[in-house]
């Protein structure tokens, strides 16, 4: 009787989950591809149930929100999509070193805004009086320093006082937003408009120069260079190795002689600096003005992109494109079919749910209990 009780007590569960050691890249992307197809199928069924629309027409409209399908010779829409992908990618690259270190930097929004502030300051006060050869390097340097400062402040408190970095970086966002709202009044143009108009509209002082007549390329090319540099930094540099060790275990890092406090502060300085660069690209290369919502929540979307790509800078290019494609496509659905944003958000949410959910099957394996002869099933 006691043996039966013991046997029952140690009975294996029907299902147990184990972490995979590794998976071939082609298998992982095959799973992601199947997840996208399933998401489109499920979303298509829901579209037919709640409306009279043809799912194929809806998906064509989503593509049309990113590329001009009616007139492929008109490439402006495509370049705008790639430019938005570049900004989201830049901010995603910024949060990646911190997240790989398991420092939950939720302050990319504020760090990017501080880069916007620095760039706007140079454009307003030096844009028409300073030579471009001196203006742009200084604007780049100060924007990156401003973002780095906004990242280093919570890093210092985390390193020395073990504060909660999630709350700290979130609060820094609100300070940055309030600062920009104050500067809107200081720099308002025209007067009593409570906003900053287009800076140097006629002289274009401080505007990023075009490349071969293309005003979108400077932002795209700059971010691609940053992507390559961050990939090399994380994978092949000593600092990238230290980030990985600290992320795995701070105790192990200390045991092998790594200065954990120094790594935390340095990594957040790098993250903030890249956010500052994104802020400069936004202000000098795209918006040519500044306002509290200039980043448009991409500081938080970047976290999703970084996680989807498993902190791989190259994979982030595709993840960022997917998110922007869905965002712009959702707007096109609402406009083309006279719908509110609800149905578009449902379609986008279903696709993201499947894509995020498939990451579970990439990282973990589901094991079922096998029956044993003469034993308990």
If residue 144 lies in a helix (H) or strand (E), which one and from where to where? helix 132-161
DSSP assignment letter at 266: H
pLDDT tens-digit readout, 243-295: 999 999 999 999 999 999 999 999 999 999 999 999 999 999 999 999 999 99
Query: CA-CA distance, 341 to 330, in Å (whole number)?
Result: 7
262 and 136 housed in the same domain: yes
The answer to whether the CB of 105 falls within 8 A of the CB of 167 is no
pLDDT at 155: 97
pLDDT at 72: 64
59-89 burial code (b ≥16 CB/10 A, e <16): bebbebbbeeeeeeeeeebeeebbbbbbbbb
pLDDT at 9: 54
Domains: count for the chain: 2
Instruction: Report the range of poorest mean pLDDT among 2-16, 255-269, 321-335, 337-351.
Output: 2-16
Q: Is residue 233 one of the residues assigned to a domain?
A: yes
First to last CA, the chain: 18
Q: Helix, strand, or coil here: 16?
A: strand
283 and 365 housed in the same domain: no
What's the predicted TM-score (pTM) here?
0.89
Beta bridge mates, 17 = 366
The rounded Cα 185 to chain-centroid distance in angstroms is 30
Q: Is residue 56 one of the residues assigned to a domain?
A: no
Q: Is residue 5 one of the residues assigned to a domain?
A: no
If residue 287 lies in a helix (H) or strand (E), which one and from where to where? none
pLDDT tens-digit readout, 132-180: 999 999 999 999 999 999 999 999 999 999 999 999 999 999 999 999 9
135 and 209 housed in the same domain: yes
Beta bridge mates, 15 = 368
113 and 194 housed in the same domain: yes
345 and 332 housed in the same domain: no
pLDDT at 226: 97
Residue 23 pLDDT class (50, 70, 90 cuts) = confident
Q: Does 301 score more than 90 pLDDT?
A: yes
88 and 219 housed in the same domain: yes
CATH number of the domain within which 269 lies: 1.10.3470
Cis, bond preceding 190 (omega within 30 deg of 0) = yes
145 and 232 housed in the same domain: yes
pLDDT at 376: 41
- Residue-number span of the structural domain to which 109 is assigned: 76-338
Determine the average pLDDT of the residues in 184-191: 87
- Tokens representing 289? 């003005």
Question: What are the DSSP calls for 214-251, one per residue?
Answer: BSSHHHHHHHHHHHHHHHHHHHHSHHHHHHHHHHH-HH
pLDDT tens-digit readout, 349-377: 888 889 888 888 888 888 877 655 444 44
- Tokens representing 294? 């200039």
């Amino acid at each position: 009787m006691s043996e039966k009780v013991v046997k029952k007590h140690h009975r294996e569960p029907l299902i147990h989950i184990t972490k995979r050691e590794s998976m071939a890249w082609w298998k992982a992307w095959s799973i992601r591809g199947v997840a996208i197809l399933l998401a489109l199928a499920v979303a298509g069924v829901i579209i037919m149930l709640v409306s009279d629309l043809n799912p194929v027409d809806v998906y064509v409209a989503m593509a049309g929100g990113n590329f001009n399908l009616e007139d492929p010779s008109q490439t402006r829409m495509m370049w705008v999509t790639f430019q938005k992908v570049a900004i989201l990618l830049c901010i995603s690259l910024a949060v990646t070193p911190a997240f790989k270190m398991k420092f939950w930097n939720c302050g990319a929004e504020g760090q990017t805004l501080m880069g916007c502030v620095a760039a706007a300051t140079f454009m307003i006060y030096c844009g028409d009086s300073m030579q471009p050869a001196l203006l742009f390097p200084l604007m780049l340097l100060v924007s990156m320093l401003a973002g780095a400062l906004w990242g280093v402040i919570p890093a210092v408190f985390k390193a020395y006082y073990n504060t909660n970095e999630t709350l700290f970086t979130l609060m820094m966002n609100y300070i940055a937003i309030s600062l920009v709202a104050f500067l809107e009044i200081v720099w308002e143009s025209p007067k009593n408009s409570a906003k900053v108009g287009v800076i140097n509209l006629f002289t274009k002082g401080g505007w990023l120069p075009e490349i071969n007549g293309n005003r979108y390329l400077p932002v795209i090319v700059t971010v691609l260079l940053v992507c390559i540099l961050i990939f090399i930094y994380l994978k092949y540099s000593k600092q990238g190795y230290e980030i990985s060790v600290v992320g795995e275990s701070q105790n192990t890092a200390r045991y092998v002689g790594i200065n954990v406090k120094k790594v935390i502060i340095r990594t957040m300085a790098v993250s903030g600096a890249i956010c500052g660069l994104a802020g400069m690209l936004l202000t000098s290369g795209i918006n040519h003005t500044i306002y509290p919502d200039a980043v448009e929540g991409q500081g938080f979307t970047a976290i999703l992109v970084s996680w989807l790509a498993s902190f791989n800078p190259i994979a982030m290019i595709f993840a960022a494109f997917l998110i922007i494609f869905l965002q712009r496509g959702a707007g096109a659905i609402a406009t083309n079919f006279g719908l509110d944003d609800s149905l578009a958000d449902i379609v986008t949410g279903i696709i993201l749910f499947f894509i995020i959910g498939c990451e579970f099957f990439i990282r973990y394996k589901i094991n079922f209990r096998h029956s044993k002869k003469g034993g308990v099933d």
